[in-house]
Amino acid sequence: MIERKFVAQKTKEFLVQEYIEENLKRVGHSHTKIVKTPLGVKVIIYASRPGLIVGKKGQNIKKLTNAIKKKFDLENPQIEINEVENIGLDAQIIAEMIANSLERYGTSKFKGIGHKTMANVLEAGALGVEILISGKIPSSRAKRWRFYQGYLKKSGDISQEGIKKATTSAQLKSGTVGIQVKIMPPDIQLPDEVKLKEEITEEEEGSEEEKEKKEDAKESGEEKPEKETKKETKEKTEKKAKSKETKKETKQDKKNGNAKK
């Protein structure tokens, strides 16, 4: 029974998110989070243009809260809107921007739209980006166009969890056009990335004059032992000379003593 409750709760949350996404198309909607609180249910909407979602005097939010409350039987739903800081790294907003520009300018400028959005994403700090536009562009036959630049992981856990993905569609005269966006954010940690730690050496702080004085003192300290060695050599030579003289005197005294005998 507990498992069924969890499944029913998650399906209800998914339906609420899907309903909000459908009603907030082309308004810069990114994603929605649902959090349970003691007062009721809190719905957090992330968007690039929160002013359009709020409306004049909060009319749009009031309509949305009433619709969610009636359709999904939520207890005291409270909607909170947060602004997305970096639009260029949000895949859902980028996909909606491409769809808006295609619906506005048509299929004749789809290459310029793809290259421009790709450059904006890389300027925002992304490591890599891939844009896929599939449909009847520009001819009557369906094709798929790929815009790719930078580094993008295609396999492993990083490609499934780390890379931001989004899909949307644009309604044109020629038919429906599918748009898929993949962005590799700059804060992602790759398994093959190695960082070397630098050894930090502490330098002695002080003015230039103090450093010069220390250097002079070192030089003078190095010169002193040299002078002392010269004195020691002189003393040694003098001692040797005196010892030689004393030896000569003793020898002469011995000779003189023998001669007297």
Domain of residue 50 covers 2-84
Tell me, yes or no, whether 52 and 20 share the same domain: yes
Tell me, yes or no, whether 97 and 69 share the same domain: no
Tell me, yes or no, whether 50 and 103 share the same domain: no
Question: Which one, of 168, 112, 124, lies nearest residue 150 by Cα?
Answer: 124
Q: Is residue 226 part of a domain?
A: no
Q: Is residue 221 part of a domain?
A: no
What is the pLDDT, as a whole number, of residue 93? 92
pLDDT digits (tens, 9 = 90+) for 218-232: 666 554 444 446 666
Residue 236 has pLDDT above 50, yes or no: yes
Tokens of 233: 């050599």
Residue 42 has pLDDT above 60, yes or no: yes
pTM for the structure as a whole:
0.67
18 contacts 29 by C-beta, under 8 angstroms:
no
Say if strands 164-171 and 77-83 run parallel, antiparallel, or are unpaired: unpaired
Taking residues 76-86, what's their average pLDDT? 87
- 111: CATH: 3.30.1140.32
Q: Is residue 112 part of a domain?
A: yes
What is the pLDDT, as a whole number, of residue 226? 46
pLDDT digits (tens, 9 = 90+) for 135-189: 988 878 888 999 999 998 888 888 888 899 999 999 888 889 999 999 999 988 8
Tell me, yes or no, whether 19 and 80 share the same domain: yes
